[in-house]
């Protein structure tokens, strides 16, 4: 009963947080805690189930806990191999493979600790499990809330659609990843224009020129749109940015000069949407972020990379928690020694 009450409290905090500002990582944590305590409450109620059903639920739970990590590791490794074949061996493309191998490594360490009855290896394994449990909880919070955030209703009062740039093929051509953003940007523009509250919005193509590019990304983006029938006079080009942070800051300057106080809808790929929303809030941009489709095989490594960036953004808190967990394990070793 207490677990259900705690779950309801965190669910209330989640609702209040969403109403105040959807673009807060705290919302994800509140949601994760609400689901966690709800699960604990349901688990405590298993004893009240009819005879036979309790055993079935417990067996299924044990199977999930026992086989789940192995299956997950296998899927991540398979995805990592596919990423390398399709996208090359850049470090960012190896994340899902490394995550899968990491899970297998921890499972192997646990098995060795049990078989050898090594107290030191056991403590190391427990420490890793505690730290990985914390990180995994935050990761699930991030993924779960990112999924919900990407499905929230499109705002109606936006005066701008901002499409975030990415690298160009051959220094001048729009790649499929960026094309999906631009196509989604056109779709959002059409929805906002159809509402016609304060006239049609303006579309901001945001992206500067990289060292290996022949022209700014925003120019290639604008050309892509115009070639497909988009009205050129509704496009504004932000061509100074070199990062997502600069995309947002320089686009804000442009929007403030053109239509002071107007809100915007920011378009990026779906795996990047929630992190971009966090960054938009930090930059003071009044914008909702929506995502465009991404190839399924690309998603695991991309979402791991996005989570890692958010984890490091709050590194003071996260490093402190991890240090406390390590300290507790070391204290346990000292006490039992």
pLDDT at residue 70, as a whole number: 87
Res 30 pLDDT > 70: yes
Q: To 5 degrees, how large is the angle CA 276–CA 278–CA 281? A: 110
Q: Residues of 285-310 as b/e, b for ≥16 C-beta within 10 angstroms?
A: bbbbbbbbebeebbbbbbbbbbbeeb
Q: How far apart are CA 184 and CA 164, in angstroms?
A: 11
* Cα 314 from Cα 25, distance rounded (Å): 10
Give percent of the chain above pLDDT 90: 60
Question: 222 falls in which pLDDT band (50, 70, 90)?
Answer: very high
C-alpha–C-alpha distance, residues 129 and 19, integer Å: 35
DSSP secondary structure string for all residues of 58-123:
HHHHHHHHHHHHHHHHHHHHHHHHHHHHHH-S-GGGGHHHHHHHHHHHHHHHHHHHHHHT-HHHHH
Please, how many CA atoms are within 13 Å of residue 150, restricted to the half-sphere of its CB? Answer: 20
Q: Which residues pair with 268 in a beta bridge?
A: 291
**pLDDT tens readout for residues 318-333:** 999 999 998 888 776 6
| Average pLDDT of the residues in 140-145 | 96
Helices 119-149 and 25-44, packing angle to 10 deg? 110
Residue 337 predicted with pLDDT over 60: no
Instruction: Please state, in angstroms and rounded to a whole number, the distance separating the CA atoms of residues 129 and 103.
Output: 10
Locate tokens 């094309």: which residue?
Answer: 179
Tokens of 312: 């490091």
Query: What is the spatial distance between Cα 333 and Cα 124, in angstroms, rounded to a whole number?
Result: 10
For residue 96, give Cα distances in angstroms to 82, 104, 313: 10, 13, 21
Average pLDDT over residues 46-58: 66
- Return the closest-CA partner of residue 311 out of 266, 278, 282: 278
Rounded-to-10 torsion of CA 235, 241, 247, 249: -110
In this predicted model, what pLDDT tens digit does every residue of 161-198 receive, in sequence order? 999 998 888 888 899 889 999 999 999 999 998 876 66
Q: Is the pLDDT of residue 15 over 90?
A: yes
Q: What's the rounded Cα separation, in Å, for the pair 13 and 27?
A: 8
pLDDT score recorded for residue 336: 63
Beta sheet of 235-238, edge-to-edge order: 235-238, 202-206, 158-164, 263-269, 287-292
pLDDT beyond 90 at 246: yes
């Amino acid at each position: 009963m207490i677990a259900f009450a705690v779950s309801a409290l965190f669910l209330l905090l989640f609702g209040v947080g969403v109403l105040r500002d959807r673009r807060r990582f705290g919302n994800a944590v509140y949601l994760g805690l609400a689901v966690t305590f709800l699960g604990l409450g349901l688990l405590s109620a298993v004893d009240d189930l009819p005879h036979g059903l309790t055993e079935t639920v417990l067996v299924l739970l044990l199977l999930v806990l026992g086989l789940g990590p192995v299956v997950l590791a296998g899927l991540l490794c398979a995805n990592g191999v596919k990423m390398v074949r399709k996208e090359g061996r850049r470090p960012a493309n190896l994340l899902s493979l490394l995550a899968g191998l990491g899970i297998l490594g921890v499972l192997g360490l646990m098995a060795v600790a049990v078989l050898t009855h090594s107290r030191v290896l056991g403590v190391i394994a427990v420490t890793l499990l505690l730290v990985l449990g914390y990180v995994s909880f935050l990761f699930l919070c991030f993924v779960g809330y990112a999924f919900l955030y990407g499905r929230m209703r499109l705002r109606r009062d936006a005066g701008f659609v901002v499409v975030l740039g990415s690298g160009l093929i051959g220094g001048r051509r729009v790649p499929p990843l960026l094309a999906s953003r631009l196509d989604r940007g056109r779709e959002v523009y059409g929805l906002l224009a159809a509402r016609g509250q304060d006239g049609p919005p303006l579309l901001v193509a945001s992206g500067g020129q990289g060292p290996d590019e022949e022209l700014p990304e925003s120019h290639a983006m604008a050309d892509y749109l115009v070639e497909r029938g988009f009205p050129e006079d509704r496009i504004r080009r932000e061509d100074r940015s070199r990062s997502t942070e600069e995309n947002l800051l320089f686009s804000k300057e442009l929007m403030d000069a053109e239509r002071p106080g107007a809100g915007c809808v920011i378009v990026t790929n779906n795996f990047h949407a929630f992190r971009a929303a966090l960054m938009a809030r930090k930059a003071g941009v009044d914008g909702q972020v929506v995502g465009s489709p991404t190839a399924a095989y690309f998603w695991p490594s991309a979402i791991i990379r996005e989570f890692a960036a958010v984890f490091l953004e709050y590194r003071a808190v996260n490093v402190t928690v991890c240090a406390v967990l390590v300290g507790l394990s070391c204290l346990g070793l000292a006490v039992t020694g």
